[in-house]
Chains A and B, each alone.
Chain A
Amino acid sequence: MNAPLSRNWDSLRQSRRRRLERAAGLGLGKAIPAERIIDLLEAVIQPGDRVCLEGNNQKQADFLAESLADCDPARINQLQMVQSVLALPSHVDLFERGLANRLDFSFSGPQGARLAKLVQEQRIEIGAIHTYLELFGRYFMDLTPNVALIAAQAADADGNLYLGPNTEDTPAIVEATAFKGGIVIAQVNERLDKLPRVDVPADWVDFTVLAPKPNYIEPLFTRDPAQITEVQVLMAMMAIKGIYAEYGVTRLNHGIGFDTAAIELLLPTYAADLGLKGKICTHWALNPHPTLIPAIESGFVESVHCFGSEVGMDAYISARSDVFFTGADGSMRSNRAFSQTAGLYACDMFIGSTLQMDLAGNSSTATLGRITGFGGAPNMGSDPHGRRHASPAWLKAGREAAGPNAIRGRKLVVQMVETFREHMAPVFVEELDAWKLQKMMGAELPPIMIYGDDVSHIVTEEGIANLLLCRSPEEREQAIRGVAGFTPVGMARDKAMVENLRDRGIIRRAEDLGIDPRQATRDLLAARSVKDLVRWSGGLYAPPSRFRNW
């Protein structure tokens, strides 16, 4: 018998001990003064480390991000960054200043153009663009962080953390790091003797630092009703009558745009008039959209689980604890990993928008010159083959797709777009920009957000295309052309085939749904301004100043 190879089985723990000893050697305890944060980072981070810099959709560990970017690239370099969102300039500074060279991420909205430039200059290597759940999954597989830099609302003297309403990604990040020999450093907005509740126990946290100012939170999910157009109202009417009502969609997720905000604001008016209260939209995986307030106040909504919070919504959420998930302390508990799981497996419908769609129904928000990623949309906007429990909406969709003897249901994945974006850019295209972007990035695959074979319906101002009922690729193509309006793709339709699809109910126009275009006015919106939303909330919603004009 061969003798087993001798090796260390606790090298991670030993490395962790050495890092902590280096910090202790500099006189650094568990609570770090803000002015010594760079000393700490340079003591515990090593070249080549995998570092998770907490950047969520909303909450940003901005002080730690700026501090890391200010570290000496001679001491800290070759970092492999793993993080959900590249949102802040400092996130990209890390690569421009030579501290980091590899990135695995999910979403880079505001930094998309700078990121594309760095890729072109070969100053950054992108491992992959993930969905949130994929990235969280890889934290527990092959992308476990050596160091996590996170953001919390408050710490007590022991280092217990209170995360506040914006829990977001923190539990997933901390769990992966703390239990695999990593170092967890938290920036906090305040130090308290007694926390409202403990979200992260102190023995998972190595260091806390009181940030000079509270962490930045992006009001990403606030849509001003004043900007909703009458075309969006018309599309929302079609979606409610032609999809929500017909399938009896009770459990769902909405995307972020004005199209779905219009639907939220038609629930207390148009949907209520159709007798749909209690029959649709009762359970949500959704951030606390201010535009959902009128539907909540009207008794449409039973439950909302949130990925994160939204600026200005905290007092309203606390006062509606029957609807939102809140702690015994009264404040909300969000959790991106769990809400994404709910969106993937427990919702019957995802509805969202996109920037481009091709003739197979593939859609992408990646356009030339910008690498944006997709966040959670690909999870929400996919039909999960792992699902087993039935619901009326899921079964109806499954039987439309595969006939009355279907052995499984289908998730409704709805793409809602106007056929032209601003500056007359057509949404419907022969080829997605994603293919050119793939070449530019040298990526294995084009950055497609939602695959065409997952899409069940497309809603445009011209009507609804039900792709579940299409029986061939040709029919799908003509169904898409048939709602593509006056874009070149829409103009190139086979008119006879489109009329045939309309006769079969695969394409339905507003008039086919019995919708009067004169009703499609802003008067139908339950709230027409941010001020209306504040009024609906009984003064509990406190919008950020940029949304206040009174």
Chain B
Amino acid sequence: MIQIQNVSLAYGDRPVLRDISLSLTERRIAVIGANGSGKSSFARLLNGLVLPTSGNVIVDGLNTRDNGKDIRRKVGFVFQNPDNQIVFPVVEEDLAFGMKNLGFSKDKIAERVNEILTRYDMLELREHPAHLLSGGQKQLLAISGVLVMEPAIVVLDEPTTLLDLRNRRRIARALDALEQTVIHVTHDLDVIAGYDRAIVIDDGRVAIDDTPAQAIPAYQRLMS
């Protein structure tokens, strides 16, 4: 569970988030909002990549101010552009990176990498250069690179923005099948229709917090 307690965030003099308090307990949570509304900064607060200017973010009882490294093990983060997230030149090496950092044995790394490549039908790409993958394959690799670390929560910051329709659907199916809690920052309203909760951020504040059935039309009215 993630608790956000009276969180405000500013970059220098520019306020980005203003006095947000939320308790995130649902399995599928969408975060939507206009460009520049503060939703990416909100996502980065959840695994301690960004620390609040005031207030606290508590993940399973741990404050992101003091336990960044432990929290990043619990909360995986998928970025918008997979090219900025894939660290190693070859698919298999990149998948192993996070597990190596966590100190897993070679055998365990090989077993889990095999498992994730099989799950996403990418076994034949095991030794493929990462820069030659398609956009959808790169994003699946980026997501897989996070999932091999077995986080309890996965935060995704617009992972389908750079993808075509077919790959958006592929990623959406992959996300639907995840056992983990998913917090998904997106502009893709179709993908989040079946989610448990949708939070609309507008001008750094929570403008709407409801089920997608209620929140999406309200968001569309807000944007019109």
Please determine whether chains A and B interact with each other in the same assembly.
no
Residues of A bordering B, CB below 8 Å: none
Residues of B bordering A, CB below 8 Å: none
